[in-house]
């Protein structure tokens, strides 16, 4: 787990930052998708495959009683593929027998798979997130096909923000 100097953040218009670039860069502030802000409480953390931003100071010495208390030391334990059946928010379920067209339709109509603060709240972004979340599972293939069948119903500018991040990946 690495962290940058105070004030850094991922540029708000970047939907999926390039985590490999974060892992490789000596100075995060030099990366085009990282911004220096004046907010000194703001910190950017990355394990190389995901990232975390915070804008509030939290005590590292804590009793661990609150679920939001940080548990240190931090290290990346990997991001394994989820096991099925996978129950997501809004009644979305990924399992053997999932009707993919129905699931994609629900997301297109506003169902959000997780309570995540993605930089852009749009069906394209959520479908990209879900596809990445299922990476490594056979389920990712029928999902991809179902997404392609609905391309005409997705907002072109949101879709562009997903496709314009070839090296970037949404965090599981």
Kindly indicate which of the ranges 46-54, 93-101, 130-138, 157-165 contains the residues binding Zn ion, using the contact rule CB under 5 A: 46-54
Please identify, using beta-carbon distances, which residue of 1 and 29 lies nearer to Zn ion: 1
* CA 33 to chain centroid: 15
1 contacts Zn ion (rule: CB under 5 A): no
From the CB of 13, what's the least distance to Zn ion, in Å?
24
Please identify, using beta-carbon distances, which residue of 1 and 39 lies nearer to Zn ion: 1
From the CB of 50, what's the least distance to Zn ion, in Å?
5
Please identify, using beta-carbon distances, which residue of 18 and 122 lies nearer to Zn ion: 18
Closest CA to 75 of 57, 96, 97, 49: 49
Q: What are the DSSP E strand ranges found in 4-98? A: 8-10, 34-36, 43-46, 51-54, 86-87, 93-94
Among residues 39, 60, 76, 93, the one that binds Zn ion under rule CB under 5 A = 76
From the CB of 1, what's the least distance to Zn ion, in Å?
8
Size of interface with Zn ion, in residues (CB under 5 A): 4
Query: What does the DSSP assignment read for 48-70?
Result: SS-EEEE-S---SS--S-STTS-
49 contacts Zn ion (rule: CB under 5 A): yes
In three-state secondary structure terms, 87 is strand
47 contacts Zn ion (rule: CB under 5 A): yes
How many whole angstroms separate alpha carbon 72 and alpha carbon 1? 11
Question: Residue 81 has what DSSP assignment?
Answer: P
Please identify, using beta-carbon distances, which residue of 73 and 97 lies nearer to Zn ion: 73
81 contacts Zn ion (rule: CB under 5 A): no
In terms of C-beta density within 10 A (0-12 exposed, 13-18 middle, 19 or more buried), how is residue 152 classed?
exposed
From the CB of 171, what's the least distance to Zn ion, in Å?
8
Contact footprint for Zn ion (CB under 5 A): 47, 49-50, 76
């Amino acid at each position: 787990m690495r962290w940058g100097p105070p004030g850094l953040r991922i540029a708000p218009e970047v939907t999926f930052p390039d985590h490999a670039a974060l892992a490789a860069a000596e100075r995060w502030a030099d990366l085009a998708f990282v911004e220096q802000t004046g907010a000194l409480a703001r910190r950017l953390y990355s394990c190389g495959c995901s990232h975390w931003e915070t804008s509030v100071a939290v005590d590292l010495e804590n009793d661990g009683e609150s679920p939001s208390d940080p548990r240190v030391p931090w290290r990346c334990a990997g991001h394994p593929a989820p096991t099925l059946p996978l129950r997501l928010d809004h009644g979305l379920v990924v399992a053997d027998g999932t009707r993919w067209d129905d699931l994609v339709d629900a997301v297109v109509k506003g169902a959000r798979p997780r309570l995540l603060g993605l930089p852009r709240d749009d069906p394209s972004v959520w479908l990209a997130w879900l596809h990445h979340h299922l990476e490594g599972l056979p389920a990712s293939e029928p999902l991809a096909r179902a997404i392609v069948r609905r391309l005409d119903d997705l907002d072109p500018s949101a879709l562009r923000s997903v496709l314009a991040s070839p090296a970037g990946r949404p965090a599981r």
